[in-house]
A and B are shown apart, each in its own frame.
Chain A
Amino acid sequence: MGPRAGRGEKGGTGVLVIGVGNRYGGDDRAGLAAADRLGEAAGAPVALLDNIAGGTDLIDVWADADTVILIDAARSGGAAGTIHRLEVRADDPARQVVRVLGAGRTLGGSTHGLGVAEAVALARTLGRLPRRLVIVGIEGARFDAGEALSPAVEQALDEAVRLGLEEIARGGEGRCV
């Protein structure tokens, strides 16, 4: 991850695709798989945060990016394969992120208390959010150790990639304040 993490262009005008999850965590692999495909389709740099426990690393990873599309598996209780879209805005982003991705869920799929939601909230306090952050959640069904995705999640990857491409095409819209 990190190293090839595209840092956007100078001046923070670049797009960065971030995939979050655990390659060996069943459907927790969805974000990594979708981000990989999206980066290739969009010709955008990709950072894969595979089984990272310290969510604060996200703040460093997106440090120089202008627009970030972050894809992660979600556990909100919905049907497997459901796609959630969340654009981080000024009004209490943390709570929304928690709702979609699950409170306290870490990047590695455990309850470290420092996950995507906390990283977003912390970045806001520190003034280190990217200008535009779109979070795409792919609802997962099983998160046990293993390498296979659920069929519904596998099928949902295309939809997540399509949504990501749309978001990248929209470019400067939806400024996050």
Chain B
Amino acid sequence: MPVERRTIKVDALARVEGEGALYVRTSRGRVADVRLRIYEPPRFFEAFLRGRAFTEAPDITARICGICPVAYQMSACLAMEDACGTSVDGQLRALRRLLYCGEWIQSHALHVYMLHAPDFLGYPSIVEMARDHLAAVQRGLALKQTGNELMRLLGGREVHPINVRVGGFYRVPRPRELAGIAERLKRARDAALETVRWAAGFEFPEFEQPYEFVALRAARGPGQPAEYPIDGGRIVSSGGLDLGAAEYGDHFVEEQVPHSNALHSRLRARGAYLVGPLARYSLNFDALSPPAKEAAREAGLGPVCRNPFRSIVVRSVEIVYACDEALRLIGQYEAPERPFVEVVPRAATGHGCTEAPRGIPYHRYTIDAAGAISDARIVPPTSQNQAQIEDDLRGVVQRSLTLPDDRLTLRCEQAVRNYDPCISCATHFLTLHIDRG
């Protein structure tokens, strides 16, 4: 459509968690500007945490997000344990990982089926899609419910779990309490494999980006099997980074940009980077379970995926992995003697990083000798991806300028949803504007 000056305005970008604004301007057939404009409330939670006890951070930060509370809890726990010079391992660590698998299953199922699939199948939302794809929607709901159930079992409830504490849990399950969920997880794994096949059949725009992938990579000793990163590990990147969480601040910087209240994260050395499923997968393909690897291969994925639109397939592969891993953890589970390890506060700063479904959140806390929090910094995954989302949009719009306005708008929305952005973690309002001036 060779129009030199055109304005498209779209008032709502639905199906991303939270609200914000996206502004795209094109001029003479070129993309002139792309801005993901975020209205971030004052860093309410960081301020809210000051003066609170170090033991309160997991529960308070879990309130930041209704979809990935476990990610916040776990990152906060790791940071506090780091500050106090303690670490949690053995079966307590296994239980944390198991709880986190529940969150991955429910969050990915929600995004794949309810939020992202309608883009690929040409429906405005899941409501319309359900009329024609009843079986798929029911499969998605059942998968999500299994994730919820796992969270409920370990976390006490599926949203904002109350059973997690610094050092471990308030209560740990007896092995036989996990028998029922294991049966459900086996069915969920079949549904997840079906999900991979289903998503692989969608049509994907030809679009690849030279991302710098940033994800965790589980540290492992010689002879130990590889482990897909969920509950911790070294921060590694396709550009050669290999850091402990404590070094995060040396390499990543949050910048204020004029068009957004939210801070944009950048690699000090190289700028935009990508966190989330594509990064995790591409840096850890070797650590997937054999069924997950096989499903990926059948879906036509190589060991590295640079097409953000295929993230829906990668997420589906990760659901397979999460089901597998949960079953493995349940299979080897023996109740630990104590539900938690004692964590004694000391004046220190601690760092924590885990793999939320949508990428790494980074937490840093400074506490005093009595355990009171004097400083808190939380960098959610979506604010880390913002610069990369803008880069993607620049490329997507440039390649799609011949599309009519409505189709281009949908393509932009789809490109933003590739990131499963949890914008409520970083922001409050999202609207989409496209100016073709």
Contact = CB atoms under 8 A, between A and B. Distances in A.
Does A associate with B in a complex? yes
Contact of B428 (A23, A53, A110, A121): A110
A54 B114 contact: yes
Nearest to A108: B66
B159 A112 contact: no
Interface string A81-108: 0000000000000100000000010111
User: Interface size bucket, A side?
Assistant: 20 to 34
Contact of B115 (A1, A24, A113, A122): A113
Contacts of A126: 130, 134, 137-138, 141
Interface in B132-150: 134, 137-138, 141, 144-145, 148
Contact of A53 (B12, B66, B131): B66
A66 B283 CA distance: 49
A50 B141 contact: no
Contacts of B131: 125
5 contacts: A53-B66, A54-B114, A111-B13, A112-B15, A122-B137
A110 B19 contact: yes
A171 to B, nearest CB: 29
Interface string B368-390: 00000000000000000000000
Interface stretch (A34-42, A56-64, A155-163): A56-64
Given A1-B159, A111-B19, A125-B127, A56 B14 contact: no
Contacts of B17: 53, 106, 108, 110, 112
B159 A56 contact: no
Contacts, number: 106
Interface residues of B, number: 41
B12 A104 contact: yes
B41 A144 contact: yes
Contacts of A118: 125-127
A57 B92 CA distance: 28
A57 B142 CA distance: 11
A14 interface: no
B65 interface: yes
B157 A112 contact: no
B50 to A, nearest CB: 15
Interface string B419-431: 0000110001110
A3 B159 CA distance: 10
B156 A3 contact: yes
B75 interface: no
Contacts of B15: 112-114
B158 A2 contact: yes
B24 interface: no
B148 A108 contact: no
B276 to A, nearest CB: 17
B157 A2 contact: yes
Interface in B145-187: 145, 148, 152, 156-160
Contacts of A70: none
B134 A145 contact: no
Interface in A10-42: 23-24
A149 interface: no
A122 B19 contact: no
Given A51-B159, A118-B125, A122-B127, A111 B12 contact: yes
Instruction: Give the residue among B126, B127, B148, B424 with the most A Cβ atoms within 10 A.
Output: B127
Contacts of B430: 111
Contacts of B145: 60
A2 B106 CA distance: 14
B215 interface: no
A57 B312 CA distance: 21
A108 B424 contact: yes
B94 interface: no
Contacts of B114: 54, 56, 114
B141 A104 contact: no
A112 B111 CA distance: 11
A113 B14 CA distance: 5
Interface string B11-27: 01111111100000000
A110 B426 CA distance: 12
B19 A50 contact: no
B9 interface: no
A141 interface: no
B279 interface: no
A50 B158 CA distance: 11
B148 A57 contact: yes
A148 interface: no
